[in-house]
A and B are shown apart, each in its own frame.
Chain A
Amino acid sequence: MRKYHWLAIALVVALTLALVGCGGGAADEEWVFATDHEFSVRPDGLPDLQNVYGFQFDDVITMDLGVTYGALKEGQVPAAMGFATDGRIKAFGLVNLVDDKQFFPVYNPAPVVRAEVLGEYPEIEEILGAIGPRLDTDTMIELNGLVDIEGQDHKQVAKDWLLSQNLIDPEAPEGTKGPIKVGSKEFTEQLILGAMSVFALENAGFTVVDQTGLQGTEVARSALEEGEIDTYWEYTGTAWLVALGHEEPITDSEEAFQKVSAEDLEKNELVWLDYAQFDNTYTIMMRQADAEAKGITSISDLARVINER
């Protein structure tokens, strides 16, 4: 009887070791892709990306969004997904691959202002509209990085940048107009953009009520529609898909801006001011050194390299 028991235990251990052995094979594969959970199934995510570009990763590992950057940096995967303007891209020596087939929908942010407020203070269009066109992807990555990586205060980062662009003066005048209620969503980029709006308006002599840091798109958007706030930065793609409820994503920045601003003005009396150059959409990233060594700059290059090996 005893012998039989030991046999049973030995069997369980042997089976486990065999299972571990089977599972360990995955590490040798060359093109493993790190993704977060949503991107692995979304219609604008990985499955269709692979169809459009015509390639297939050897294996896909799912993890929390924040982990993908580190996994890529430490060389545990050769490619990963992330968000195009995340500060870690620059800080970790990563590079965004060019979406040369325009697969990803566009998410350019722009200040959205209630038409009523703009009617009263038409100068706001010029004040806030001046910010967006100066913000390109590299600038935004750098500003996000100053907050997320170097731990600077987002308000200081916003102020310093506005000063460096001569968009504001070092000392704001006494507020005589307004008040204007400025909102933003809760993540770093939004906090920086919100702070920029606050400083720019203060510089032009407005009293500003700071309502930045609202929890998510739904809250910020309904606050704007109901007049709880007067302006915040929204992304064209988000407004198109979420707030206006369309199903088909738009992949051209100008087209997205035209369609969204026209529809929002007509339906909700919201005015979209000039949009930022940068596009905070999904991105496929590689390590910069790795990408240069393999001659990869775009997702098409990546597809070619994977298919040709």
Chain B
Amino acid sequence: MRQRNRVLGWTVMPLFLLACGAFTIYYFVENPGGAMAARLLIYPNVFKLIQQHVLLVVVSSLLAIATALPLGILISRPRFRTLGLVVENVVNVAQTVPSLAVLALAFTFLGWGFNTAVFALWCYSLLPILRNTYAGIRSVSPSILEAARGMGMTPGHILGRIELPLATPIIMGGIRTAVVINVGTATLATFIAGGGLGDLIVTGIGVRRTELILAGAILSAVLAILLDHLLSQAEAEFG
């Protein structure tokens, strides 16, 4: 039964979401609602924007996981306890900075383009992953750790076999939050020539064409749901 759910989760739901996305693209390309929107809503262009958007999200998220996960583990070590508290509070405050401000700051220092957009997204998605990794590991009950030490496990073993497996749901929660936020924030990359579905949305706002706004917004929503679902599947696999 569990096996069957797993297979369904990897196939039916993703295929359904892909079908939703495909239908959205088909609908808006065939009904752009005017010559202005029709200049952007053509198949090669829409696919190019989706590819750019996925790239922005995936590259920045992978980089964020690769940095925030080890950092989170590091600050959860007992010898860095004070540092951990400081980092946790700083991160909580940093999370309140608006994403557009992060993008604008990155632009001031790094100029425009894809790489700057990835950098800004990376900064912004570091925080949930770092916080959840730290909180997840800290939430492991001291009595379990005591028992593990009593059995003679080394700190490395405790981390790999006790702490990380127990913290996985919380860590994955952080990663999922980060990725979903990233999909939304990536629509702002268009301001600094980062491409992506924001091209459609911002142009749509500029020239008052609802079709452009809807096409961009629906496609990024579908993308967010799809990535979130795939990550929850992955969580079930690893957990």
Contact = CB atoms under 8 A, between A and B. Distances in A.
B190 A19 contact: no
B204 to A, nearest CB: 9
Contact of A19 (B37, B54, B193): B54
A285 interface: no
A64 B191 contact: yes
Contacts of A63: 112, 190-193
Interface in B85-122: 107, 111-114
Interface in B43-62: 51-52, 54-55, 58-59, 62
Q: Provide the main secondary structure of the chain B interface.
A: helix
Most chain B C-beta atoms within 10 Å of own C-beta, residue among A36, A37, A38 = A37
Given A41-B203, A41-B207, A5 B51 contact: no
A209 to B, nearest CB: 34
Contact of A61 (B193, B237, B238): B193
- Of the four ranges (under 10, 10 to 19, 20 to 34, 35 or more), the interface on chain B belongs to 20 to 34
A38 B203 contact: yes
B111 A70 contact: yes
A67 interface: yes
A74 interface: yes
Contact of B55 (A23, A43, A70): A23
Interface string A1-18: 000010010001100100
Nearest to A34: B193
Contacts of B37: 41
Contacts of B207: 37-38, 41-42
A42 to B, nearest CB: 7
Nearest to B45: A60
B2 interface: no
Contacts of B142: none
A38 B234 CA distance: 41
A298 interface: no
Interface of A: 5, 8, 12-13, 16, 19-20, 22-23, 34, 36-38, 40-43, 47, 61-64, 67, 70-71, 74, 76
